[in-house]
A and B are shown apart, each in its own frame.
Chain A
Amino acid sequence: MSTFYVIAFLSIVFSLLVIFAKNPVHSVLYLILTFFTFTIHYILLNAQFLAVVNFIVYMGAIMVLFLFVMMLLNLNKDTEPGKHYLVKIAGVVAGGCLLVTIVASVKALGKSQPIILENTNLGLVKNLGKVLFGEFLLPFEVSSVLLLSAMLGAVLLAKKEPKTA
């Protein structure tokens, strides 16, 4: 029980550090830590396939992509000017209002049942694969088209520059 609360506290702290860190590279590093706590959450929920995929895709691929772009653009010298405090305060107030609304609506639901795993092999690859390739076969194929179009779009965006210049 206490494991969940410790990890939840850590994920909140790290995600706060993501948006309040001055240096964008530090933001990326804190985001990696946040995703690591999410992986631990998935393991606690016994979703082992999602834990592994989260670890590989987010912490491996996407974060490396972010860091690579950040190093490519060399943004360390022009940090954000911290002038517009009014805009920042307005943003924090707006996010806080959203949070208060959601929390109040959850509170209005009353007490909830604890999570009980009836089927302990729910999140295993064998079980998920059966659902994914049976019931969700069409969305799976459509998502492959989505990834293909994203790849084509990225290549086109990268190739267009020398022609116009």
Chain B
Amino acid sequence: MENITHTIQTVPLNHYILLSAIIFAIGVTGVLIRRNAIVIFMSVELMLNAVNLLLTAFSAYRGDASGQVFVFFVMALAAAEVAVGLAIIVMIYRNTNSIDINVLNRLKW
């Protein structure tokens, strides 16, 4: 316990913000450049996890447990999103035999 406390006392909060920003930008890039629907889902998961890490860092910085409770809620949301989203992807694959985003243009008006 003492060791862990000693470790993080030398890491500035800015570095956690920068790490989260980099991971979030990687997630955004993944959503933009990939055409496989499942990989796009995984990029969304990356973005959610970047936010989780930042919330935890802020929670430790402020000494307030609310941030870690928010992370718990974000995880519940991600689980629900993955369950419904993957079901939708499986349905789309059954109907069109593809999960390429460029083929899925039936929702356009």
Contacts and interface: CB of A to CB of B under 8 A. Distances in A.
Chain B associates with chain A: yes
Interface of A: 1, 3-4, 8, 11-12, 15-16, 18-19, 24, 27-28, 31, 34-35, 38, 41-47, 49-50, 53-54, 57-58, 61-62, 65-66, 69-70, 72-73, 75, 78, 80, 87-88, 90-92, 94-96, 98-99, 102-103, 106, 109, 111-120, 122-123, 127-128, 131-132, 135-136, 139-140, 143, 146-147, 149-151, 153-154, 157-158, 160-161
Nearest to A47: B56
Contacts of B100: 78, 80
Given A61-B79, A116-B9, A157-B91, A69 B29 contact: no
A151 B32 contact: no
Contacts of B86: 65-66, 69, 154
19 contacts: A4-B7, A18-B43, A24-B38, A41-B56, A44-B8, A69-B89, A80-B100, A90-B32, A98-B25, A98-B28, A106-B17, A106-B18, A114-B12, A115-B13, A120-B5, A123-B65, A146-B76, A154-B83, A157-B88
Nearest to A30: B42
A15 B23 CA distance: 7
Nearest to A150: B80
Contacts of B84: 150, 153-154, 157
Interface string B7-45: 111111111111101111111111011111011011101
Given A11-B19, A18-B30, A19-B43, 17 more contacts: A11-B23, A15-B27, A16-B26, A31-B45, A57-B79, A62-B78, A69-B38, A69-B89, A112-B12, A113-B13, A114-B10, A115-B8, A115-B60, A117-B63, A149-B80, A158-B91, A161-B91
Interface of B is mostly: helix
Nearest to B91: A157
B60 A46 contact: yes
A104 B38 CA distance: 32
Interface in B33-73: 33-36, 38-39, 41-43, 45-46, 49, 52-53, 56-57, 59-61, 63, 65-66, 68-69, 71-73
Contacts of A66: 38, 41-42, 82, 86
A62 B79 contact: yes
B77 interface: yes
Contacts of B83: 65, 150-151, 153-154
A29 B81 CA distance: 20
Nearest to A70: B38
